[in-house]
Amino acid sequence: MTKKHVAVLMGGFSSERPVSISSGNACADALEAEGYRVTRVDVGRDVGAVLAELKPDVAFNALHGPYGEDGLIQGVLEYLEVPYTHSGVLASALAMNKEQAKRVARAAGIPVAESKVVNRFDIRGEHPMVPPYVVKPVAEGSSFGVVIVREDQSHPPQIVSSPEWNYGEAVMVERYVHGRELTCAVMGDVALGVCEIIPTGHAFYDYDSKYVPGGSKHETPAKISPNIYQKIQTLALKAHQAIGCRGVSRSDFRYDDRHSENGEIVWLEVNTQPGMTPTSLVPEIAAHAGHSFGDLLSWMVEDASCLR
């Protein structure tokens, strides 16, 4: 039996275009190896016309950042009635807005750090909260624009109000949580393993840590106590369900165990379009759970639908 025709959507217009190209090509190669007929689509403004002509059975969404994981491309695919992978319009838009996603998570009983959204020009003169804190664009991925303000910093970060800032006027200011970086993948209605991310030569898990080979070490499974491991899995699945995610997602956490093993667990965000590059976390976590890269992608293609 001939397998489905899959259009792998990659590229796009966001700052994460290089990551999307890498993810898209890796997924296309693996899907071809699984026997699918694959068309690689570098997404432009004419994506609707391109897909209408291709008439794929499934669109595999390998886009990252604005336009790709914020509900916009999902809306195009719904309009064209092309089944697609990952989350739908509402969950994608909600997860992409960090502050709104945190409100939903908090209402679901998931622990989050105190935060507020301010205009970037309003923090030029004085700290918006007592340091340490983190300044993040409200709707960006891959740690673009993230600035950490330490306890001993006497003034707010000037880059945020400078002309070089390209991440929008609204920023989220969030209490900095000390501790370890943990992440957990969810596949359908199952929380997979927990991984600890250890940045190598970087202050935090920034863009280079994520995508440059050797930028970070991954401990899969994370070396944490069984009860903390299970709690992270429970919270990741709860966030996935509360926000309405579909397919595969990945939730990021901070775990501060400096003073006790139980410590403090804080949910940071859910990623509805986890990277699928050679250094990406979800394929590694899935492999530890017994799913090869090809198996994982095949599951995502077969799980694809409209009205997600």
Contact 91, 244 (CB under 8 A): yes
Integer Cα distance of 223 and 204 in angstroms = 19
Q: How far are the Cα atoms of 15, 127, 246 from residue 188, in angstroms, in the given order?
A: 28, 41, 6
* Residues marked as catalytic: 16, 142, 211, 250, 252, 269, 271, 275
The confidence score (pLDDT) of residue 203 equals 56
Q: Say what the pLDDT of residue 15 is.
A: 83
Instruction: Specify the pLDDT at position 212.
Output: 54
Per-residue pLDDT of the chain (308 residues; tens, 9 = 90+): 568 999 999 999 888 899 999 999 999 999 999 999 999 999 999 999 999 999 999 999 999 988 999 999 999 999 999 999 999 999 999 999 999 999 999 999 999 999 999 999 988 888 999 999 999 988 775 567 889 999 988 888 888 888 888 888 889 999 999 999 999 999 999 999 999 999 776 555 444 544 455 567 899 999 999 999 999 999 999 999 999 999 999 999 999 988 777 889 999 999 999 998 767 899 999 999 999 999 999 999 999 999 99
**DSSP secondary structure, 29-48, as one string:** HHHHHTT-EEEEEEE-TTHH
Classify the C-alpha dihedral 175-181-182-183 as positive or negative.
positive
Query: How much of the chain is helix, strand and coil, in % rounded to 5?
Result: 35, 25, 40
Could you tell me the pTM of the whole model?
A: 0.89
Distance, CA of 247 to CA of 158 (rounded, Å): 39
- Burial (CB < 10 A; 0-12, 13-18, 19+), residue 46, is exposed
The answer to whether the beta carbons of residues 169 and 120 sit under 8 Å apart is: yes
